[in-house]
Amino acid sequence: MLKKVSIKCPSCSTKGDIQIADDFIKNTSRGLLAVNITKDLICSHSFIAYIDKNLNVRDYFIADFCFEIPEIPIERFEETKEKFLVKKAFDIDLIKLNLPPTQLSFILKAIFSKQKVMIISNQDFLYGHLHDFFKYISYNSFQIDINFISEEEYNQNKKKYKDSMVFHGIYIVNNVKKIINPKKLFFEKLIVNSFFSNNQLELTYIIFRNEILKIYKLSKSIVEFINDSKKKNEEVNILKIGNQLESEYHIKINTAYLSFLIDIVKDYFKVEVPRVRDSFIRSF
């Protein structure tokens, strides 16, 4: 049996209906179903709608699938530890249901930029789950400074958090130095969509953490290469950085992803590197 769901395009606000099979809704459990709305189905835009088991649209997401993330095998924790963390520390279904994909992409950008994060939420039962979730996904990689606060408490102490990236649902309440441009979170959105689209609970949180770890390792490799080159008084340029990553990790890395990593090197590791010019199209 098919169920009708009303959809609204996040780009142009055009409204329309889609049909979803009962089986798909039942399989969402307590999480969200990611539905890819293709071009011309509702309007001329393509986007993703996240729908809960009650047929409520919880969030919309525009992800540019023209971008590619290189595949690199990353070591995992022992399986017993993985299962312990999921069962004892956080409920992944609860997190997927209550953490908007849009907000998670904002949080990732803030983490990659080494910014303090404050999440406004009146659902204090989530605080412990979210704290342990972010601690888990940043294990052995990025240092994070993330806290949670009620809306009432934030309104009473706004000045206290002027140096923090503040998020409330899908909205950016405080954008320090305008670090986040929602239209340019290409790779953050790809990673987040992969996390929400994967309904295999045994894998979804591992894959998500591995993507974070991959980004950290690649960025750190760039830092080490730059520092080593400076010691040798060797010139550093974007071609050499790309070639070094290819050689070290046996991958093909495109210019867009390399530019993404370079922003992290600059913002998180505070190391200056050559910029990728917009006209530079070559893929390594």
Print pLDDT tens along the chain (284 aa).
788 899 999 889 999 999 888 777 766 655 678 888 888 899 988 888 888 888 888 888 886 667 788 888 765 444 455 555 554 578 888 898 899 999 999 999 999 999 999 999 999 999 999 999 999 999 889 999 999 999 999 999 999 999 999 999 999 999 999 999 998 999 999 999 989 887 776 678 888 999 999 999 999 999 999 999 999 999 888 889 999 999 999 989 999 999 999 999 999 999 988 665 543 434 44
Supply the pLDDT for residue 220.
97
Q: pTM for the full model? A: 0.84
β 165-168/171-174 pair status: antiparallel
Where do the H-state alpha helices sit in 99-252? 101-112, 127-137, 151-156, 186-197, 201-231, 238-249
Kindly give the pairing relationship between strand 2-8 and strand 47-51.
unpaired
Could you give the CA distance from residue 250 to residue 269 in angstroms, rounded to a whole number? Answer: 24
What are 132's two structure tokens? Answer: 């342990």
Given this model, what pLDDT does residue 204 score? 84
User: Given this model, what pLDDT does residue 28 score?
Assistant: 63
Give residue 32's pLDDT.
Answer: 79
Q: How high is the pLDDT of residue 64? A: 65
**Res 82: pLDDT:** 54
Confidence (pLDDT) at 76: 47
Position 83 scores a pLDDT of: 54
Q: What pLDDT score was predicted for residue 187?
A: 94
Given this model, what pLDDT does residue 74 score? Answer: 60
Q: Which of 126, 201, 212, 134 is nearest to 169 (CA)?
A: 126
Please name which of 36, 8, 39, 31 lies closest in space to residue 20, comparing C-alpha atoms.
36
